Every structure is written in C-alpha cells, then in structure tokens.
Amino acid sequence: MYRPNFEITPRLLNLVAEISSVRELINSAYILPQLDLKLKREAMLQIAHHSTAIEGNPLNPEQVSSLIQGKDVAAREKDKQEVLNYLQALKFVDDLGARGIPSIDFRVILELHSILMKGLLPPEDLGKIRRGEVAVLDHMGRIVFQAPKAESVPSLLDDLLGWINGPSQEFHPVIVSGVSHYELVRIHPFMDGNGRTARLLATMILYLRGFDTKRFFVLEEFYNQDLKGYYSALASADRTGELTGWLEYFAEGVAVSLKKVKEAISELSLESRLKEKRGQIFLDERQREIIKVLKREGRLRISEIQRMFQVSREMANRILDPLIENGLIVRRGLGRATYYELS
C-alpha cells in the first residue's frame, strides 16, 4: 500500500486553515446566476490556458477564449489541439462530478490521458501505460529525473489509487490533491502528458471531495507564473522522498488562487443580506467598476466618476442612482463637497 511521507507542519496547518476559511466565504457568498456562469467560464478558460502554457503552449487567453467560442485561431494545429483537449477533459471531470462517482479507478486515469493527448500522440499510446523508460533532461542533456521502470508502473498506479480511495479519507482534500499530483508525476505512467494528467487529477480530487464545487478557482495560474518554484518543489520531493515542502508549496498555491476568487466575487456579487431584503440586483459593468473602486479607494466624487467613464454629469448620476436606491452606496456632504462611499 502506498504511504506518502510528509509531516503536518505548523505552516501547512495554517495554510489549510486559511484555505478552509476563504472557501467558506466563497461558498456562502450570494452570486447572481449570470455572474456565477461568468466566473465558471472564466475559470475554465484560465485553467486550459495556464495548464497548457506550463507545457510550452504559446496561445494567449484571448486565443483560448476564441477557441472556446468555436472561432478559428491563427496558430499551429498542435497548439490548438492541446487547448481543445484540455477543455474537453475539464468537461469530462464535470460529468464525473455530476454523476457522483464513488472512487477514482484505473479507467478514469486512462480516459483522462486519452482525452488530453488526442491527436498529440499515436493512437496506440492514448490512455495506455508506457512500454519504455522515460527520463527528464536539463538543457545540457543531463538526466534530472529518472522515472520508475515501465514494468512497475501498473502496480505503483494501483497503490496510489488504493491510497486515494482508502486511507486518504482521513486527510484534508488539499493534502490528498497535492500528494496525488506529485505521485502521478513521479510514476510518470505515460510516454507524454504526465504533467497535464497529474494537474487534472488534482483538480478532480478537489471537485469530487466537495472542495471546489463552484468550479471557480484556477490553481494552474499559480504554477504557470512561478514555473521555477513549481519544478523546484517537485524536484525537492524527488531528491528526498519527503513531500512536506511540496505540500506547503501546493497549499500556498491553493490559498493564493482562492483569495483571487474571493476578490473577484467581492467585486461582482452582492451580499446575501441584500438578496434577502431586496431580491436580485443586477449591476452593469460601470456600476461594478464603481463598487470595485470604492472598495479600494473608500470614496469617489461625481467628477471622478465622469472621468472614469468619459460621461456627462447627468449620465454619471444615472449610473449612480440604482446603487443609491438599493442601498449599496451612500451620498455624503453637500454641494461641491459631495462624495460617495459604500454603505
């Protein structure tokens, strides 16, 4: 049976506590249905972009957005296929969550790989355990990571899945996700696509364990913006066989990603008390921008709102009226000294 070697350090405990606290705030926030859908679509776009960018895909978020919308993009077919595959794999994960599968088995891992690498590997290598040896080389051609022997891969994968579906239940989902991410990369069960499969397995575990049920946060962005730290944390675990440093790094990534979601929700959503008192309130882009600036700056004058949107004083007042009427902001002062702040 697989037994991951790690220590529950004070830092790891603090990160998990912080993660749980932020998650509760996100789950309890009232979000209008149209904003909920917007956040989910944006997360899907960002996940597909960042996870493929880690592997060297050059498509930018705008091009990925165009692909999601079914538009053609001037890029190599391989680059487009990578992104489209990742989007399809994310939908596969969503379908599994909707069905509520009780465990993650061998077939699920193979299907994930098959979807992710369609059109990128020969058909005989899709969703198939590698038959040869693989190693990771540095820029000088030196081996920096030697994967386990091919003949040991099936039993190693079985051991990992046995741990995920059994003993891991006693650990927080973030720890289980981080351990599974690392161990799948270490096993390197496929000829190619191991990193992508491992990151998606980590996402799947969080989703199926009820942690990321809203599907808002993007862990891959944290890795992509810190590739050196990402690979260094993985390599440290390879050298020592001890996962504590990697898990602290992984948990930090979850915490940072969730904080970004919290900030986005605070800019786009209304407090649940407003829902109870006034029902659903829809804000347009300019009104959401005013709320965002007020949260950052504290107060705004009408002249500043005019400059923000290049509108007349009369139009600025029209933009403000729904915010005042619904009790989101209040007017302070008189005459030229008038300003607005959050209620």
Domain match, 325 and 248 both: no
Phi, psi for 146 (deg, rounded to 5): -110, 115
Q: pLDDT digit string (tens) for 301-329?
A: 999 988 888 888 888 888 888 888 887 88
Question: Which residues, in sequence order, are CB contacts of 114 under 8 Å at separation 6+?
Answer: 126, 127
Query: For strand 143-146 and strand 329-332, is the pairing parallel, antiparallel, or unpaired?
Result: unpaired
Do residues 171 and 304 both lie within one domain?
Answer: no
Residue 201 is classified by DSSP as: H
Q: How many domains is the chain built from?
A: 2
Please enumerate in sequence order all residues whose Cβ is within 8 A of that of 245, keeping only pairs 6 or more positions apart, or say none: 233, 236, 237
pLDDT for the residue numbered 280: 52
Both 180 and 221 in one domain: the answer is yes
Q: Characterise 333 by phi-psi region: left (phi > 0), alpha (psi -120 to 50), beta (else).
A: left
Give CA–CA dist 89/185, Å, rounded: 18
- How many residues are recorded in the chain? 343
Tell me if 278 is assigned to some domain.
Answer: no
Q: Give pLDDT tens digits for 222-232.
A: 999 999 999 99
Full-model pTM: 0.78
44 lies in some domain: yes
pLDDT at 29: 72
Does residue 5 fall inside a structural domain?
no
Query: Smallest Cα–Cα separation from 130: which of 159, 144, 151, 156?
Result: 151
Whether residues 186 and 245 share a domain: the answer is yes
Predicted pLDDT at 290 = 87
The conformation of residue 214, written as its DSSP 8-state character, comes to T
Residues 246 and 330 reside in one and the same domain = no
Final residue belonging to a domain, choices 203, 234, 268:
268
What pLDDT shows up at residue 45? Answer: 86
Of 268, 300, 324, the one marking the end of a domain is 268
Contact 246, 236 (CB under 8 A): yes
pLDDT per residue of the chain (343 residues) written in tens, 0 to 9: 899 999 999 999 999 999 999 888 887 776 666 667 777 888 888 899 999 999 999 999 889 988 888 888 899 999 999 999 999 999 999 888 888 788 899 999 999 999 999 999 999 999 999 999 988 777 777 887 888 999 999 999 999 999 999 999 999 999 999 999 999 999 999 999 999 999 999 999 998 888 875 677 788 999 999 999 999 999 999 989 999 999 999 999 999 999 888 877 776 654 444 445 455 566 777 887 888 888 778 889 999 988 888 888 888 888 888 888 887 888 888 887 888 988 7
Helices vs. strands in the chain: H and E counts, helices first: 15, 4
pLDDT of amino acid 173: 95
Residue 214 CA to residue 127 CA, distance in Å, equals: 28
Q: Provide the residue type at 274 as one letter.
A: L
Rounded Cα distance between 223 and 273, Å, is: 36
DSSP secondary structure, 272-324, as one string: HHHHHHH------HHHHHHHHHHHHHS-B-HHHHHHHHT--HHHHHHHHHHHH
> Which residues span the domain enclosing 98?
10-268
Query: Does 256 share its domain with 292?
Result: no
55 and 98 in a common domain: yes
- Distance, CA of 64 to CA of 106 (rounded, Å): 30
Q: Which of 243, 268, 293 is the last residue of a domain?
A: 268
Q: CATH code at 55?
A: 1.10.3290.10
